[in-house]
């Protein structure tokens, strides 16, 4: 049996905005109850950025805002799931915070749609 492990940078990205793609979203049990773990790849920087949201069904909830930034069609639907958002591109705004052990890590401030002019350029390539 063979396998390969892709090595990502452990160093957090500098505060700013980055092109990213949602690799996965899954429910995780945390000390705060069940939350959603979102994992984004910022492949230009060999970095992975993760963030948690609640599972609230509110249209004001962070999960809904992130989901509609990834896929605007969700705003007109009564439900959504991983198939609607995984693999979609976005712009992440990140900052740096310290975790409980004092290690620096990225925190997602906002997930925004890819600007339309950039989408058009990508479609032409």
Digit-by-digit pLDDT tens for the chain (125 residues) are: 889 887 766 789 999 999 999 999 999 999 889 999 999 999 888 899 999 999 999 999 999 999 999 999 999 999 999 999 999 999 999 999 998 899 999 999 999 999 987 655 555 55
Q: What pTM does this model have? A: 0.85
Report DSSP letters for 11-54, one per residue: SPPPSEEEEEEEEEEEEEEETTEEEEEEEEEEGGGTEEEEEEE-
Beta bridge partners of 111: 92
pLDDT at 9: 67
CA atoms within 13 A on the CB side of 123: 7
Structural domains in the chain plus CATH codes: 16-124 (2.40.50)
SS3 7: coil
Q: Pick the closest to residue 93 from 16, 29, 25 (CA basis).
A: 16
Phi, psi of 22 (to 5 degrees): -75, 115
- 118 vs 24: CA distance, rounded Å: 23
How many Cβ atoms sit within 10 Å of the Cβ of residue 109?
A: 14
- The set of residues, in sequence order, having a beta carbon less than 8 Å from that of 70 and lying 6+ positions away, is 22, 84, 85, 88, 89, 90, 111, 113
């Amino acid at each position: 049996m063979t396998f390969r492990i892709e090595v990502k940078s452990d160093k957090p990205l500098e505060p700013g905005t980055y092109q990213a793609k949602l690799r996965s979203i899954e429910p995780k049990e945390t000390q705060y109850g069940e939350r959603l773990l979102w994992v984004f790849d910022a492949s230009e920087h060999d970095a992975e950025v993760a963030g948690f949201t609640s599972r609230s069904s509110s249209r004001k909830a962070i999960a809904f805002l992130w989901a509609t930034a990834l896929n605007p069609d969700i705003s007109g639907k009564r439900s959504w799931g991983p198939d609607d958002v995984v693999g979609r591109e976005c712009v992440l705004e990140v900052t740096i915070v310290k975790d409980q052990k004092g290690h620096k890590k990225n925190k997602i401030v906002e997930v925004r749609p890819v600007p339309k002019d950039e989408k058009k350029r990508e479609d032409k390539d």
